[in-house]
Amino acid sequence: MDINKLHRISDYQWRIDPVNGMHVPGIIFASKDLILDMDEKVYEQITNVARLPGIVNASYAMPDAHWGYGFPIGGVAAFDPEQGGVISAGGVGFDISCGVRTLHTGLTVQQVMSKQKELADVLFKTIPAGLGSTGVFHLNKKEMNAMLNGGARWAVERGLGDQADLERIEEYGCMQGADPDQISNHAKERQKNEMGTLGSGNHYLEVQKVVEIYDQNIAKRFGIELNDIKISIHCGSRGLGHQIGTEFLKSMVVSAKDYGITLPDRELACAPINSKIGQRYLGAMRGAINCALANREIITHLTRQAVKHIFPDIHLDLLYDVSHNTCKLEQHEVNGKRKNLFVHRKGATRAFGPGHPALPATLREAGQPVLIGGTMGTASYILAGTSESMQLAYGSACHGAGRCMSRHQATKLWRGSNIIQQLADQGVLIRSPSRRGVAEEAPNAYKDVNDVVKSADQAGLSRMVAKLEPLICIKG
């Protein structure tokens, strides 16, 4: 990106002044080096989002921002329904409510390394992964609708999770306002055999060790100590979410002119929040959020079973579960007044600060855990939301490293089998049904997650708490 087009606010905050129909400025949170490495398309997409009706304060981009469909991945924008604000399927993304949950294990590094291969094999055997993967749970129409309404609570009620998990899940495991009737039969058909599956792409399950602690007080409140073993799960709403995104993007493009909306880019297809199609999308999207929460809960259930097969006395407790492809109705301060806003986070994680009422009492004083996924050969991070972030970007932070090249480019540069061997030589076991999928997700196809996380910390979006490195990775 041409840094000369930006105004430097600080070393980690940059401004794009409103021009050519932009209602608000663009704000990028990143180091100079990360800015220079961003595609010029990111600048274009940030400014296009700033042209949408009813946008409030700014069009934001997180440190991992890269080109996406309509919105940049790593994009955050809030819209005021009282000012003609819109909701955009492109501002949520296709993998609705894709997110990360991290589990405590109580295991030691020595225990895991003594059984590393056995644990990798049983996890891979137990948790379906890969393109088109199907699970052991098959939902009829009644159960599908119950799942779409109930989310992780639905899974727990059916013995596929622990009641204690719900307190540690965003929205306490169930997104209110879901309307399964707004989800097509085709979307439901795609999902009926996919519950409890990782899917493909950048989705994974990782066994990780804590290698560094940055904030001892918050780490203690989160239940994190040096050399702890954690398990992180990254996946979303699978085929159902993708189908909802596909269908509503088409509908919103067609209907935009009926609402007097001129789209700077067809991929920014949107509709007024209070319109019929806007409300239909909200109902469908909230159902997809529940699908993702239920999916991660079932995978957690399967993971618990797999780990008990190797370590019978171990129980996995949930640290937290948070999504990064959503639109949520939240209250935020605008010009000194509390307003109800629809906050789009696409490839961006909610990062509410200490004291926020949406957080469980056990975590409220420390702030929300922010779970940042790395790649199968690099670090992941646990951060905490800050009070400052609530003012900077509606309590939002980055969600991962962010790609620096396409999957097609990656497969030209690397072979999956070579990557698996290289990582094995480094002590990281990879299990995947697809060698091509491993090549697409090569660690070097992503930005340096350490730089991304440092930028989020230095910008005030979230506070670094702990660094984790992989020991086992199950890849889709």
One-letter amino acid of 317: D
Residue 374 counted as an annotated binding residue: yes
CA 123 to chain centre: 22
Tell me what pLDDT residue 194 has. Answer: 95
Tell me what pLDDT residue 183 has. Answer: 98
Sorted by sequence, the CB contacts under 8 Å of residue 439 that are 6+ apart come out as: 410, 411, 414, 415, 416, 419
At 24, is the pLDDT very low, low, confident or very high (cuts 50, 70, 90)?
Answer: very high
Residue 342 lies in a domain: yes
In angstroms, the Cα distances linking 197 to 149, 236, 239 are 19, 9, 11
CA 427 to chain centre: 27
At 405, is the pLDDT very low, low, confident or very high (cuts 50, 70, 90)?
Answer: confident
Residue 20 counted as an annotated binding residue: no
Q: Which residues pair with 332 in a beta bridge?
A: 339
Residue 76 lies in a domain: yes
Tell me what pLDDT residue 406 has. Answer: 86
Q: What is the DSSP letter of 283?
A: H
Residue 304 lies in a domain: yes
The string of pLDDT tens digits covering residues 294-323 is 999 999 999 999 999 999 999 999 999 999
Residue 298 lies in a domain: yes
Tell me what pLDDT residue 53 has. Answer: 97
At 107, is the pLDDT very low, low, confident or very high (cuts 50, 70, 90)?
Answer: very high
Residue 211 lies in a domain: yes
Residue 421 lies in a domain: no
Mapped onto helix, strand or coil, the DSSP state of residue 429 is strand
Whether residue 167 has pLDDT greater than 80: yes
Full domain range(s) for residue 177: 3-404+446-475
Residue 424 lies in a domain: no
Number of domains making up the chain: 1
Report the predicted TM-score, pTM, of the whole model to 2 decimal places: 0.96
Residue 423 counted as an annotated binding residue: no
Q: How far apart are CA 430 and CA 124, in angstroms?
A: 9
Which alpha helices (DSSP H) does 314-465 contain, by range? 361-364, 387-393, 407-413, 416-425, 435-440, 449-459
Tell me what pLDDT residue 201 has. Answer: 85
Q: What would the mean pLDDT of 28-38 be, rounded to a whole number?
A: 96
Alpha-carbon dihedral sign for residues 50, 52, 57, 63: negative
Is the separation of the CB atoms in 401 and 452 below 8 Å? yes
Residue 234 counted as an annotated binding residue: yes
Tell me what pLDDT residue 375 has. Answer: 85
Q: What is the DSSP letter of 261?
A: P
Tell me what pLDDT residue 401 has. Answer: 82
Closest to 29 measured CA to CA, from 15, 12, 17: 12
Sorted by sequence, the CB contacts under 8 Å of residue 127 that are 6+ apart come out as: 196, 197, 198, 205, 299, 302, 303, 306, 474
Sequential DSSP letters for 443-464: GGGB--HHHHHHHHHHHTSEEE
Tell me what pLDDT residue 135 has. Answer: 83
Tell me what pLDDT residue 364 has. Answer: 96
Q: What is the DSSP letter of 286?
A: H
Is the separation of the CB atoms in 125 and 318 below 8 Å? no
The residue ranking higher by pLDDT, 10 or 476, is 10
Closest to 372 measured CA to CA, from 232, 170, 476: 232
The string of pLDDT tens digits covering residues 366-397 is 999 999 998 888 999 999 999 999 999 999 99
Question: Can you give the CATH number for the domain in which 295 is found?
Answer: 3.90.1860.10
The string of pLDDT tens digits covering residues 420-462 is 999 999 999 999 998 988 998 888 888 889 999 999 999 999 9
- Going through 93-175 in order, the beta strands assigned E by DSSP cover 99-104
Whether residue 404 has pLDDT greater than 80: no
- Annotated catalytic residue: which of 66, 301, 399, 408? 399
The string of pLDDT tens digits covering residues 133-154 is 888 889 999 999 999 999 999 9
Residues of the chain above pLDDT 70, percent: 100
Whether residue 403 has pLDDT greater than 90: no
Residue 69 counted as an annotated binding residue: no
Residue 62 counted as an annotated binding residue: no
3-state secondary structure 137-187: CCCCHHHHHHHHHHCHHHHHHCCCCCHHHHHHEHHHHCCCCCCHHHCCHHH
| Range among 103-107, 199-203, 410-414 with highest mean pLDDT value | 103-107
User: Does residue 7 have an active-site annotation?
Assistant: no
Residue 475 counted as an annotated binding residue: yes
**Average confidence score pLDDT of the chain:** 95
Residue 368 lies in a domain: yes
Tokens representing residue 40 in the block: 């010029």
Residue 340: its H or E element: strand 337-346
At 47, is the pLDDT very low, low, confident or very high (cuts 50, 70, 90)?
Answer: very high
Closest to 273 measured CA to CA, from 291, 259, 263: 259
At 84, is the pLDDT very low, low, confident or very high (cuts 50, 70, 90)?
Answer: very high
Alpha-carbon torsion angle 416, 417, 418, 422, nearest 10: 100
